Amino acid sequence: MLNEQTFDKLYAMKLIGMAEGFKEQLEQPSCHDLSFEERFGMLVDHQWTWKENKRLKHLLQKAKLKLPASLEDIDYRTPRGIEKTLVLSLASCQWIHSHQNLLISGPTGVGKTFLACAFAQKACREGLRTLYLRSPQFFYQIALSRADGSYSILMKRLSKTHLLVLDDLGLAPLTDTERKDLLEVVEERSGSTSTLITSQLPFDHWHDHIGDPTIADAIMDRLIHNAHRIQLKGGSMRKKQKLDGN
């Protein structure tokens, strides 16, 4: 009866991890030989782990990553221009805490999206608010927000996101409105948050792709300042994985 009351109080206080840890202790006779301090420490650990897992799940749901990628699963054996030392240094997410950017370029299928999602997943694991958007979706959401009156809300959300991932920039020529929208977002985030952009276009083609020289200068200046670059090369990883599977 006393244990049931304890469980009720723990669940009422939303100490779910502690309640589950207590239940495990009751079911494991070996725990009875532990001191009060040891058993209490285990309960605190259960609660901490439960809370961290819940936070990670929430951040990943909000991030809406395209792929369930992680930095631990990166294939370094296939030569693609990925420097393991650079990836490991970026894995700390210090570049995000320092409000730096990450630019990834390479041909179709070489693994740009996987790498971007892996860095984004690591950001979520570090407790950072993250959002993944393919570039067409990014521009569509801004246009839609103007139409339904939620533009200021969307801009605020984008400005508060610790890491914004824009995947596949350069699939189609930018319109004048899209150029200005990209500048608005980049300007708002510059120096206070981090942006990760992937593109099939080589870095030295990004300026021409943006189109308007004045706007392009402003965007590139804000993106490249204190930015890390990863230039991928080689054949399609999708084709390689398909061949390996046969």
Does residue 195 carry a pLDDT above 90?
yes
Quote the pLDDT of residue 243. 43
> Is pLDDT of 161 > 70?
yes
CATH architecture of 65-245: 3-Layer(aba) Sandwich (3.40)
Structure tokens at 230: 């990863």
Check whether 2 has a pLDDT greater than 90: no
**30-73: pLDDT as tens digits:** 777 778 788 888 888 877 877 777 888 999 999 999 999 999 99
HEC string of the chain equals: CHHHHHHHHHHHCCCHHHHHHHHHHHHCHHHHHCCHHHHHHHHHHHHHHHHHHHHHHHHHHHHCCCCCCCHHHCCCCCCCCCCHHHHHHHCCCHHHHCCCEEEEECCCCCCHHHHHHHHHHHHHHCCCCEEEEEHHHHHHHHHHHHHHCCHHHHHHHHHHCCEEEEEEECCCCCCHHHHHHHHHHHHHHCCCCEEEEEECCCHHHHHHHHCCHHHHHHHHHHHHCCEEEEECCCCCHHHHHHHHHC
Whether 161 and 131 have beta carbons less than 8 Å apart is answered as yes
Q: Which of 86, 80, 69 is nearest to 120 (CA)?
A: 69
What residue ranges of the chain are covered by domains with CATH 3.40.50.300? 65-245
- Per residue in 83-104, pLDDT tens? 889 999 999 999 999 999 999 9
pLDDT at 235 over 80: no
pLDDT digits (tens, 9 = 90+) for 108-160: 888 999 999 999 999 999 999 999 999 999 999 999 999 999 999 999 999 99
Percent of the chain scoring above 90 in pLDDT: 57
Query: What distance in Å separates the CA atoms of residue 132 and residue 122, rounded to the nearest whole number?
Result: 13
Q: Which residues of 78-112 are buried (b: 16+ CB within 10 A; e: fewer)?
A: eebebeeeebeebbebebbeeebbbbbbbeebbbb
- Binned at pLDDT 50, 70 and 90, residue 186 comes out as very high
pLDDT for 142: 95
- Using an 8 Å Cβ cutoff, are 99 and 194 in contact? yes
